[in-house]
Chain A
Amino acid sequence: MNRQAIEEWLTAKIREVQRLDGAEIDVRAPLEKYGLGSVQAVSLVGDLEEWLERPLPSTLFWDYPSIEAIANHLAENTN
């Protein structure tokens, strides 16, 4: 999965979960900016794993706390 596809998926997911229909999402902003708390961020790992079909650490969103950072990390570490 390439970086851009992951960014798009994450952007859509955060819009859906946070009920931010149509809002601008800055991929470089910390996730807290969109009201995504640390416990809630962890719960998105399961969705992302299912979509990517690969296991991910539950603290992924803590270590890469923006959409861009997650997408870069996952695209670089893809099989």
Chain B
Amino acid sequence: MSAQVHTAVAQPEVRYEQAEALERFLGDPGDAENVFSFKRAVELDEREEYPTEACALLDEWNFSDYYVPREFGGRFESFEEFLSLVRVIARRDMTVAVAHVKTYLGAVSVWMGGSQEQKQHLAQRIKRNEQIALALTERAHGADILSSETDAAAIEGGYLLNGEKWLINNATRSTSLTVFARTSARANARGFSVFLVEKDQLDGASYSHLPRVKTHGIRGADISGIRFHNAALPASALIGGAGLGLELVLKGFQITRCIVPALSLGAADTALRTTLSFALRRKLYGAPIFTIPHTRQTLVDAFIDLLICECQVIAAARALHVLPEQMTLFSAIVKYYVPTTIENVLRNLAMVLAARYYLREVHWFGIFQKMLRDNAITPLFDGSTPVNLHTIALHLRQQKGGESVDLAPLFNLHRPLPSFAPEKLELTNRGRNDVLAGLSETTDLTNEIDELLAEYERFRGESDDSFEAAKKYCVFHAAAVCVQMWKHNRGGFFAKPEWLVLVLDRLLTTLQPARLLQPRPYVANAAQQLVELFESNKSFSIVPIQLAQTKPIAE
């Protein structure tokens, strides 16, 4: 990690150019006069007010075009690019990201299972900046979606929809919703279907919105519900076919479980930036607190954790294109690992920020405490932590390793991605994990990787299918992802293995808390890299993009 280098692993090619363009368009979030500023985000949160202006700014940039595949007139090309854009929004205000990006989650069932007509039709709505919601959960049933009571009874020429969906993001503001409803007498895996319900096609008396629910974080978001009473749907509202509901929802989750962690990455970037800014300027006992070894170590650890998490998100986004048949497992891992790790990162940073983390104003307008509350949603929605650990535990029962495949198309960030083919998603990995299988073929950094492999062998010999084993498995997977990311991208920032050694130290220490470490000389280099990214207004990233922020934020 040489001091003077901060070129990207991949020169931010096409896939990261748009994130920089969006940064320039949205402007400096530290400038209190800007619509999409930290100050405005905190003010709206205090008033629990929907971020109308920031959403309008995204509409002006035609962000909604990224929710629509190119063949239907949109600009969506890859999840790697899409998530780089989501991070730009989330680093400013997660409420806006949750409010706006929800439309992709609402639409995903149609992109996967809809007819050409449905896709064309929905694309037009989205390109008009209409919001689309996903109406899945119910008050009494939560994650137990096969107990859903909302019912779509077949009638002449269509369906009659009855029931209530609750804790639905944008239930009230959306013009259309994809609704998960029972279509069979038997509430089994083939007993449910998904419908595209368009409010302007319903009799106004056949649906009503439920009041907005007050939340811990993302306090301006429209988290509400909708109730249907004999809402008449045309036969054409059915997506994919009767009985395909669970399959569509589970496959859709394989996508959205990769999107949610990008929200956490955005929050983590701002949390680290605001804390670092404080640590560099705050003088205690005659020197900036950044010079206190423990403080500096905490900030470097947060930086390394952020890089680990970013590797997971980029790899998962690319895997949707390259290894779609293994996404059951990969999406569960990234969704479990990243939000929970970032929760810890934020808590560790709070210790450096000390009293200022607790203030809803003063340092950077109080954005840190908002990010801390906002990020708390990420382990919950679109498959909570226990749901994901369950999926990973099921994999452990039958893990067979994986096959020796060329992982360059997945990890080499210079490689173009094939088009996303949702029909290739499966509902099980069949015991395979090609990423972890590739670990044993790595010939560099033999000390650290041998230690990791030895741990992994011990784990395989002892592990059961408990949640604790599932959590450990995620650490091995996370390590394998970082190793591959390093192996396949040796330019610039990645030229030296120092960052990877620090990554493996972090991960191995998770597995063996008693592991004694000599302080690594690399920590100073990583700290320098961190400060350089901060001072040049670049994202804390393996693919650092130029951020819009131009001037220091006064306290």
Given A32-B188, A39-B427, A46-B429, 17 further pairs, Cβ under 8 A = A38-B246, A39-B250, A39-B391, A39-B394, A40-B394, A41-B189, A43-B398, A43-B428, A45-B428, A45-B430, A46-B398, A46-B431, A47-B398, A49-B430, A58-B426, A59-B427, A63-B190
Q: Which residue of B lies closest to A56 (CB)?
A: B430
Of the residues B188, B398, B400, B431, contact of A38 by C-beta under 8 Å: B188
Binary interface encoding of chain B residues 361-404 relative to chain A, with 1 for a CB under 8 A from any of its CBs, else 0: 00000000000000000000000000000110011011010000
Residues in B neighbouring A39, C-beta threshold 8 A:
250, 390-391, 394, 427
A-B contact pairs, 12 of them (CB 8 A): A17-B397, A38-B188, A38-B246, A39-B250, A39-B390, A39-B427, A43-B394, A43-B397, A46-B398, A47-B398, A62-B190, A62-B246
B146 interface residue (CB < 8 Å to A):
yes
Contact residue range for chain B?
A: 20 to 34
A47 to B426, alpha carbons, bound, how many Å?
15
A48 to B461, alpha carbons, bound, how many Å?
23
- Are A46 and B428 in touch, CB under 8 angstroms? yes
Residues in A neighbouring B398, C-beta threshold 8 A:
43, 46-47
- Are B428 and A42 in touch, CB under 8 angstroms? yes
Q: Which of A32, A41, A62, A65 has the most chain B CB atoms inside 10 A of its CB?
A: A62
Residues in A neighbouring B247, C-beta threshold 8 A:
59, 62
Binary interface encoding of chain B residues 421-447 relative to chain A, with 1 for a CB under 8 A from any of its CBs, else 0: 000001111110000000000000000
Residues in B neighbouring A50, C-beta threshold 8 A:
400
- Are A62 and B189 in touch, CB under 8 angstroms? yes
- Are A43 and B395 in touch, CB under 8 angstroms? yes
Residues in A neighbouring B431, C-beta threshold 8 A:
46
A47 to B395, alpha carbons, bound, how many Å?
11
Q: Which residues 20-64 in A have Cβ within 8 Å of B in the complex?
A: 30, 32, 38-43, 45-47, 49-50, 58-59, 61-63
Residues in B neighbouring A17, C-beta threshold 8 A:
397
Q: Which residue of B lies closest to A30 (CB)?
A: B188
A58 to B432, alpha carbons, bound, how many Å?
14
